Amino acid sequence: MLIVGHDKNKINRLKKDLGSKFAIKNLGLAQQILGMWTMRGKKNKRLWLSQEKYIKKVLDRFNMKDAKPIGTPLVAHFKLSTELCPSDDKEKEEMSKIPYASVVGSVMYGIHMTRHCIFSGNSE
C-alpha cells in the first residue's frame, strides 16, 4: 500500500489505525510499487510514477526493442480497410503468428497504470 498525503500527522495517524487492525510494516519512502518506479521532486513536492522498465520489457518480449519512437504510428490520412486484411491462407497463417492482442494488451496496461500521473503537494 502506498500512502500519499500533505499532512504527516494524518499519515502517521492512518498508519497507527491500520497497524491496530492489521500486521503492517513501514518500509519507508517508496521506490517501487506494483512495478512502477517512483521519483520525487523535493522542492516542488511532486511524485512521478514511471513504467519505463515495464515498457522496455514489453518491447523486448515482442522483439521491438530497436523500434523507433513516433508520435503517430500511421499518417493522419491513412484509412484502414478490408483490402488490407490477409487475402489467402498463407497470409492468414503468417498473421496468426503475430500476437497482436498480447502486444496491444501489454501496452494498454502500461498506459492505464501511469496515465499522466503527477501527484502534486500543492493545490495547483
| DSSP track, the chain | -----S-HHHHHHHHHHHHHHS------S-SEETTEEEEEETTTTEEEEE-HHHHHHHHHHTT-TTPPP-S-SS-TT----GGGS--SHHHHHHHHTS-HHHHHHHHHHHHHHSTT-EEESS--
> What's the pLDDT score for residue 86?
87
Ordered by start, the domain boundaries in the chain are 1-29, 31-120
Q: Is the overall model pTM greater than 0.75, yes or no? A: no
> What's the pLDDT score for residue 13?
95
> What's the pLDDT score for residue 124?
40
Q: How far is CA 18 from CA 14, 72, 117, in A?
A: 6, 46, 26
Cβ atoms 48, 38 nearer than 8 A: yes
Residue 41: count other Cβ atoms within 10 Å of its Cβ: 12
> What's the pLDDT score for residue 48?
80
Cβ atoms 36, 111 nearer than 8 A: no
Would you write out the chain's pLDDT as a tens digit for each of its 124 residues? Answer: 888 888 889 999 999 999 999 999 988 888 888 778 888 887 877 878 888 888 888 889 988 888 887 777 778 788 888 888 888 999 988 888 878 889 889 888 887 776 554 444 544 4
